């Protein structure tokens, strides 16, 4: 596993399965190049123990693997995207830890890996709210250069399907990054023809699904990111209420 300094308490299931194989390959290469690595394993071996709730380290390593898939979608490796990844990590870790994760990430993006298998591993061990957060952050990466490339959207959509995220949830998250006259309805997963009662009912359901407390176990900064998403949901509902005169 990555040493505790890199993930605030160690990784769990992420170092088993295909994700573990990817990271194991990287760590072996780093050890060979540097004569030693800033990463280590517990008990000298990778472990695949499943945890009842996603650990912060599991989330970050899974996210790095998916970041790589999205960045390669449009056949470009933009500095703005690398900067986004680095800034994202900087909100979670100190400078030395960020450097270690960036070293890992730069090796990850050089590899090809079975996305379906990687996502299956994530689905088996990561809670649904954390998987929704993965998709939200991937859209943030895609928009890092100010434009969400269609090929990146296709990859994110594919990843969402592999992660057992339905199209309504995907469209809701995507609408937070694409603003048009129907964006508020899309964020709530609604058709503009729905009744006022259906709007209220759906809002309550979505508010429960996307509440920041659902991902509090991923750390304070990721909870703050979830709060931004939750605010977008509330703003969309308030806009629809104002438009329709709902009380």
pLDDT tens string 26-50? 555 544 444 443 433 322 333 333 3
| Residue (of 161, 139, 168, 143) closest to 63 by Cα position | 139
Q: Is 236 exposed, middle or buried (0-12, 13-18, 19+ CB in 10 A)?
A: buried
Between CA 21 and CA 6 the distance in angstroms is: 19
b/e per residue 183-202 (b: at least 16 CB within 10 A): bbbbbbbbeeebeeeebeeb
Domains observed in the chain:
4-165 (no CATH), 177-247 (1.10.287.110)
Highest mean pLDDT among 112-116, 177-181, 192-196: 192-196
The answer on pLDDT for 207 being more than 80 is yes
Summarize the confidence of residues 55-70 as an average pLDDT.
81
Overall pTM > 0.75: no
Q: Could you give the percent of the chain with pLDDT greater than 90?
A: 33
What lies within 8 Å, CB to CB, of 91 at 6+ separation is 221
């Amino acid at each position: 596993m990555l040493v505790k300094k890199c993930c605030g308490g160690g990784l769990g299931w992420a170092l088993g399965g295909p994700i573990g194989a990817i990271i194991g390959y990287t760590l072996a290469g780093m050890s060979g190049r540097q004569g030693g690595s800033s990463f280590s394993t517990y008990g000298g071996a990778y472990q695949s123990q499943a945890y009842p709730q996603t650990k912060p380290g599991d989330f970050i390593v899974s996210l790095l693997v998916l970041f790589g898939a999205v960045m390669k979608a449009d056949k470009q490796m933009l500095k703005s995207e690398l900067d986004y990844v680095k800034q994202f990590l900087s909100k979670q870790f100190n400078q030395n830890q960020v450097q270690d994760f960036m070293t890992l990430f730069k090796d990850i993006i050089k590899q090809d890996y079975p996305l379906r298998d990687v996502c299956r591993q994530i689905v088996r061990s990561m809670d649904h709210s954390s998987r929704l957060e993965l998709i939200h952050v991937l859209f943030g990466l895609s928009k890092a250069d100010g434009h969400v490339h269609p090929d990146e959207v296709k990859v994110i959509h594919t990843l969402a399907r592999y992660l057992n995220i339905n199209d309504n949830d995907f469209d809701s998250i995507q609408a937070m990054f694409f603003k048009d006259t129907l964006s508020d309805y899309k964020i709530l997963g609604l058709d503009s023809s729905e009744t006022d009662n259906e709007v209220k009912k759906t809002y309550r359901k979505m508010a429960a699904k996307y509440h920041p407390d659902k991902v509090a176990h991923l750390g304070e900064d990721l909870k703050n990111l979830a709060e931004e998403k939750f605010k977008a949901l509330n703003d969309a509902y308030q806009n629809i209420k104002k438009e329709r005169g709902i009380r």
